[in-house]
Amino acid sequence: MPSLDFHPTVPVFDANIGVGHRHDRVAPFAGPAELSAQMKAQGVDRALVYHVQGETISAIDGNNALLAWIGDHDGFTPQWMANPNQACLAQLQTLRQEGRLSSVRLHSTTDSHLSFSDWIYGDLLDWLADADIPLWVSLADTPADQIAATLGQYPQLRTVLVGAHYMHAMAVRPLLRRLPNAHIELSRYEKLGGVEELRDEFGAERLLYGSYYPRYAMGPILYYLHTADFSTDELAAVCAGNIERILLKAIA
């Protein structure tokens, strides 16, 4: 029976946290210590973090800022932003050579007024697919039809679709059918019974907990997952095991 207090019962690895200031938005927390305190309060053990400056203005600047932001703090795994700029691709390749790259996140194609098309993003997508590096793509920042058309040409590329909203309710399952190597991060997916529906069709191994903090609070979706009709193993996989597997494979 639920109670007035909620705390996660399994280890939690947040797959979707943005840090730092963006050109049009000041971060609501000062640095890693404040974020760690919030994570601890909500029962989140680890987080995959990207720098929000990379969403629109410059992936390269965002990635440089992320290095400085994390410093020597524990509990954070860096995620590197990507856009189709060749200098950005070179930066990602250097990070890969240095053993510091386990995943990449696509910038906001919508805010950048770019179509997410293979003739613009082909070099990046070819490299990611060849190197077996997973790509995070936000449905809040890139149209679903472009995701389907472009990523459909890279069936071997492992992807995580983040930020699906109830407005995407008619698109999510067709996307996952079309992209067999796609996973779905659940921070904004509030369709009625939606997580059980996705589990039934695609399996719990394709679902990931993420919060989209600081746009969204960490706790509500964790409560959703803990009250979903999941087995203990499924809950553990969705809350941490699946992202660990995805990132580890890229490092290996």
Partner 1 sequence: MIADCEVIDFHGHVGRWDALDMADDPDRMLFAMDRAGIDRACLFNIFHPDGRRGHDLTAAFVTRHPDRFIGFAYASPLWPDDPVPELERAIDELGFRAIKIYPPYTSYNLDDPVWDPIYRFADTRGLALISHTGSEATCPPRLFANVAARFPNAHFVIGHSGNIEPHRSEAIAVARAHRNVYLETCSTFRAPGVIEKLVAGAGAARVLFGSDIPLMDPRPQLGKILTADIGHDDKRQILGNNARRLLHL
Which residues have C-beta within 8 Å of that of residue 72, sequence separation ≥ 6? none
- DSSP summary character for residue 22: B
> Residue 163, by phi and psi: left (phi above 0), alpha (psi -120 to 50) or beta?
left
92 near 104, Cβ under 8 Å?
Answer: yes
Q: Does 5 bind partner 1 (CB under 8 A)?
A: yes
57, 125, 183 from 120: Cα distances, Å:
17, 10, 23
CB of 130 or CB of 229, closer to partner 1: 229
Please give the radius of gyration of the chain, using alpha carbons only, rounded to the nearest integer.
17
Write down the least CB distance from residue 4 to partner 1, Å: 5
The answer to the question of residue 33 lying near partner 1 (CB under 8 A) is no
- 250-47-163 Cα angle (round to 5): 85
Residue 37 binds to partner 1 (criterion: CB under 8 A):
no
Kindly state the smallest distance separating residue 174's Cβ from partner 1, in Å. Answer: 11
Strands (DSSP E) found in the chain: 13-19, 46-51, 76-78, 80-82, 104-106, 135-138, 159-162, 182-185, 207-208
In the bound complex, what is the minimum distance in angstroms from residue 99's beta carbon to partner 1?
A: 33
The correct pick among 34, 130, 132, 229 for binding partner 1 (CB under 8 A) is: 229
Shortest reach from residue 138's CB to partner 1, in Å: 15
Strand partners, 17: 49, 213
Q: Which stretch binds partner 1 (CB under 8 A): 57-65, 92-100, 137-145, 225-233?
A: 225-233
Applying CB under 8 A, does 28 fall inside the site for partner 1?
A: yes
**Looking only at residues 109 through 168 of this chain, which bind partner 1 when binding is defined by CB under 8 A?**
165-167
Contact range with partner 1 by CB under 8 A, out of 58-66, 91-99, 110-118, 183-191: 183-191
Q: Interface residues with partner 1 (CB under 8 A)? A: 1-6, 28, 38, 41-42, 165-167, 169-170, 188, 190-195, 213-224, 227-229
